[in-house]
Amino acid sequence: MTQIKNPLELYKLLKKSNCRECRLPSCMAFAVAVIQGQKQLADCPYIDRETLQALGGGIVAGRSSREDEQQQVLARLKQEAGQIDFPAAAARLGVQLRDGRLGINCLGKDFWIDSVGDMWSECHNNPWVLIPLLNYIIHGKGRKLSGEWVAFGELSGAADWNRFFSRRCEEAMGQLADAHAELIFEILHLFGANPAAGVTNADQSLVIFPLPGLPMLINYWAPEDHFASKLNILFDRTATDNLTVESIYLLGRGLVEMFRGLIVKHSRDGKLF
Ligand code: SF4
């Protein structure tokens, strides 16, 4: 029996006419609903009998893993991104529009998104980054930066996320910097980071742009004598006008995940610690 685990796999088997006879706005929405256990395959009158028989109970409903959940969110966002007005989005966000595709610079590399929500880029093909990027395109207000740096916990609506951000982003990145300082700062420079002179007294202060309207200031104090190291990440006061708190948290996690992957690949012994 064929087993389908994510909406994209199921979508390929649908008619793709977006006829709405299943009472959902599109075939992609239907695929997501089936994977989430909210709809039955038979609710689409255009699925042929052979496909129904081949799949039988082979749909893995519910959130079976973090990857499946991310794929479902990605599929939904891609569909939403495909429905927005691209010229208006380019003007709102101040980004490129070329051959009907939106061009967004993310960590020093261009991403291109077309009218059905498909994306191309030279790198960063990582759901931790792709989900915030699509949210930015769909919901970002393109607010002008204020120049005022604040901690994550000071951002509007961030109180509930602060503990997670502190542990999984700042502490996790700090541990990687302690073990691989040279490599981490080399990678940050490859991601387009620039020194932020005179903002703090940190040993390293670098500004990176995971998204055009969302700079992050990464400050690192190396361990010294009896003092432990410290790493914090600051944001422009306007950050939550351009991206939701959850997506900002995901971007922080994305950076940590990318660092981990690159350290395993490029460090001398291939070990994180
Ligand atoms: S009824 Fe089937 S073909 Fe029509 S929108 Fe729903 S899933 Fe797509």
Residue ranges of the domains in the chain?
Answer: 7-63, 81-139, 149-266
Secondary structure, 3-state, 224-247? ECCECCEEEEEEECCHHHHCCHHH
- We find that the CATH architecture of domain 149-266 is 2-Layer Sandwich (3.30)
For a pocket test of ligand 1, which of 10, 12, 13, 19 has the largest count of ligand atoms closer than 8 A to its C-beta? 19
Q: CB within 8 A of 57, min separation 6: which ones?
A: 1
Q: What is the mean pLDDT of the chain?
A: 86
Instruction: State the Cα–Cα distance between residues 151 and 146, nearest whole angstrom.
Output: 14
Sign of CA dihedral 257, 216, 88, 98: negative
pLDDT over 60 at 180, yes or no: yes
- The response to whether residue 21 sits with its C-beta less than 6 Å from ligand 1 reads yes
Closest C-alpha to 154, from 141, 168, 166, 169 = 166
| Amino acid letter, 137 | I
Q: Tokens for 103, please give them.
A: 């061009």
* Closest Cα to atom 7 of ligand 1: 27
pLDDT of residue 65: 62
pLDDT of residue 1: 55
pLDDT over 90 at 111, yes or no: no
Ligand 1 centroid, distance to 63 Cα (angstroms): 23
Ligand 1 centroid, distance to 81 Cα (angstroms): 20
Ligand 1 centroid, distance to 132 Cα (angstroms): 28
> Would you give the DSSP letter of residue 234?
E
* Closest Cα to atom 6 of ligand 1: 22
162 or 118, which is more confident: 162
Q: CB within 8 A of 61, min separation 6: which ones?
A: 34, 35, 36, 37
pLDDT of residue 55: 75
pLDDT over 90 at 5, yes or no: no
Closest C-alpha to 261, from 180, 195, 203, 193 = 180
Instruction: State the Cα–Cα distance between residues 114 and 81, nearest whole angstrom.
Output: 9
Q: How confident is the model at residue 143 (pLDDT cuts 50, 70, 90)?
A: very high
Contact 218, 205 (CB under 8 A): yes
46 or 170, which is more confident: 170
pLDDT over 90 at 165, yes or no: yes
3-state secondary structure of 70: helix
226 or 174, which is more confident: 174
Mean pLDDT confidence for 95-114: 89
pLDDT digits (tens, 9 = 90+) for 205-245: 999 999 999 999 999 999 998 899 999 999 999 999 999 89
Instruction: State the Cα–Cα distance between residues 216 and 236, nearest whole angstrom.
Output: 7
Alpha-carbon separation of residue 242 from 73, 99, 110, 155 (angstroms): 19, 25, 18, 12
- The response to whether residue 51 sits with its C-beta less than 6 Å from ligand 1 reads no
Chain-centroid distance, C-alpha 16: 26
* Closest Cα to atom 3 of ligand 1: 15
Instruction: State the Cα–Cα distance between residues 184 and 218, nearest whole angstrom.
Output: 11
- The response to whether residue 30 sits with its C-beta less than 6 Å from ligand 1 reads yes
- The response to whether residue 214 sits with its C-beta less than 6 Å from ligand 1 reads no
pLDDT of residue 59: 66
pLDDT over 80 at 67, yes or no: no
One CATH from 1.10.15.40, 1.10.3720.10, 3.40.50.2300, 2.40.360.20 for 7-63: 1.10.15.40
pLDDT digits (tens, 9 = 90+) for 10-43: 888 888 888 888 888 788 878 877 877 777 887 8
